[in-house]
């Protein structure tokens, strides 16, 4: 038979919320890095485009004009890709979700502490757990997809936070 106490359930849910928050933070950071690199690539292409265009004007060499046209096409393609990726909206959505999950993680941690110290009765803890579950569910309903795996992610920081929050 499956036997889980209220405290066990709170710990499991807290750990899940914590892992989700860290995943959204990592995804926001990854997207911000990709957006920055995409902008840098576009700026580099534009800088070389300016140089090739100036060389074409100053020397009159036809191949500088061809290079300029190719670089302009590449810069346009990168700009279109940046706009299509919609980085800012996605970064904001992941950061919003992580911030909300941080708040609920702290509320779970406070609930665990109060329950352990005997400040609140078990029935009050159950009522607050149920309300927290509803609130967290509303965040998950609005959260952006986490469809990709975080490569090189280390669960050690998460495990340390979870261990530190465990109440003996």
What pLDDT does 156 receive?
44
**CA–CA separation, 70 vs 64, rounded Å?**
10
Sorted by where each begins, the domain ranges of the chain are 12-165
Query: CA nearest 47: which of 32, 20, 68?
Result: 68
What pLDDT does 121 receive?
94
Q: Fill in the DSSP letter of residue 5.
A: -
For the chain, how far is it from start to end, CA to CA, in angstroms? 24
What pLDDT does 1 receive?
55
Query: CA nearest 32: which of 44, 43, 40, 20?
Result: 40
What pLDDT does 152 receive?
46
What pLDDT does 168 receive?
38
Place of tokens 């999950």: 101
**CA–CA separation, 134 vs 92, rounded Å?**
23
In tens digits, the chain (168 residues) has pLDDT values of: 578 899 999 999 999 999 999 999 999 999 999 999 999 999 999 999 999 999 999 999 999 999 999 999 999 999 999 999 999 999 999 999 999 999 999 999 999 999 999 999 999 999 999 999 999 999 999 999 887 554 444 444 444 544 554 543
**CA–CA separation, 65 vs 128, rounded Å?**
69
Output the six-digit token pair for 67. Answer: 């290079």
Length of the chain as a residue count: 168
């Amino acid at each position: 038979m499956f036997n889980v106490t209220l405290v066990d359930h709170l710990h499991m849910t807290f750990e899940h919320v914590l892992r989700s928050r860290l995943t959204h933070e990592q995804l926001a950071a990854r997207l911000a890095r990709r957006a920055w690199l995409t902008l840098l690539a576009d700026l580099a292409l534009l800088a070389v485009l300016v140089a090739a265009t100036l060389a074409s004007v100053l020397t009159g060499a036809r191949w500088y004009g061809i290079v300029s046209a190719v670089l302009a096409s590449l810069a346009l393609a990168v700009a279109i890709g940046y706009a299509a990726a919609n980085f800012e909206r996605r970064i904001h959505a992941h950061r919003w979700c992580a911030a909300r999950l941080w708040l609920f993680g702290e509320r779970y941690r406070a609930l665990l502490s109060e329950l352990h110290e005997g400040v609140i009765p078990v029935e009050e803890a159950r009522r607050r757990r149920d309300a927290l579950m509803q609130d967290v569910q509303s965040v998950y309903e609005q959260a952006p997809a986490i469809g990709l795996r975080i490569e090189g992610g280390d669960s050690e920081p998460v495990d340390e936070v979870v261990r530190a929050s465990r109440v003996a």
